[in-house]
Structure 1
Amino acid sequence: SKFSKEEIEYTIIRLEEAGFIIATIDWVNARPFYVSVGSLTWKGHEFLDNVRDSKVWSETKEVASKVGSVSLSMLATIASSVITKSLGIN
């Protein structure tokens, strides 16, 4: 109830376009008529695995906040960088 149907549909469509989820989207008159999420993709699982640790997620948000707003793909890149840095891999 916090988000409108349109906001949820928009987010699902964008996540599917970015390759984070597998979704079924049926369009009528250039508007989404039916939207259903099937599952996460490998990329979606990888992102969630990367930010699962609260320390990694906190540092990821801290880095992202310096810019103001970033895309989900950029958050994924930042999270990977945070993990790489913590492992001492350059």
Structure 2
Amino acid sequence: MKRDMQLVREIFFQIEDLPHHNKGPFDKLPDESAEVLDYHLKILQEAGLVAWDQIDRGNDCNWYLGLRLTWIGHEFLDNARNEGVWSEVRRALNDNAVKSASFSIWASTLSDRLSQLLS
């Protein structure tokens, strides 16, 4: 399964809006399968961008208790929040010459572009 940075951004927005002590399946993105969402949550957790207190494995989907962004997850989302900056960086990193980029490149490129706009 491929990592989808657009989906990562959408997941972050949805997690940010969750109540503090949430418990339930993460199904805020109905156009995505539970399998795709669970995969992305797992790799985001492995990268230290999201965390949860407990996970209960269900038949059709996993239930997350206390699903939240970590400090680093919030930092990334703050840099990715502006639609114009996100679209510009996304176009640049999805360009035919680049094709794909690591998370650290995404994070630093977003941060650099935002810094340029602020100076």
Establish whether TM, by shorter chain, passes 0.5: yes
Pick closer, same or farther for the CA change 1:19–1:83 going to 2, 3 Å.
same
Q: Which amino acid aligns with 1:58?
A: S
5+ residue gaps in structure 1? 28-32
* Structure of larger gyration radius: 1
Distance across 2 between alignment mates of 1:74 and 1:13 = 20
Identity of aligned residues (%): 37
Distance across 1 between alignment mates of 2:105 and 2:99 = 12
Higher strand share: 1
Distance across 1 between alignment mates of 2:87 and 2:62 = 35
Are 2:87 and 1:58 aligned? yes
Superposed CA RMSD? 2.4
5+ residue gaps in structure 2? 1-29
Distance across 2 between alignment mates of 1:34 and 1:77 = 32
Are 2:50 and 1:16 aligned? no
Scaled by the length of structure 2, what TM-score is found? 0.57
Q: Please name the residue that 2:14 is paired with.
A: none
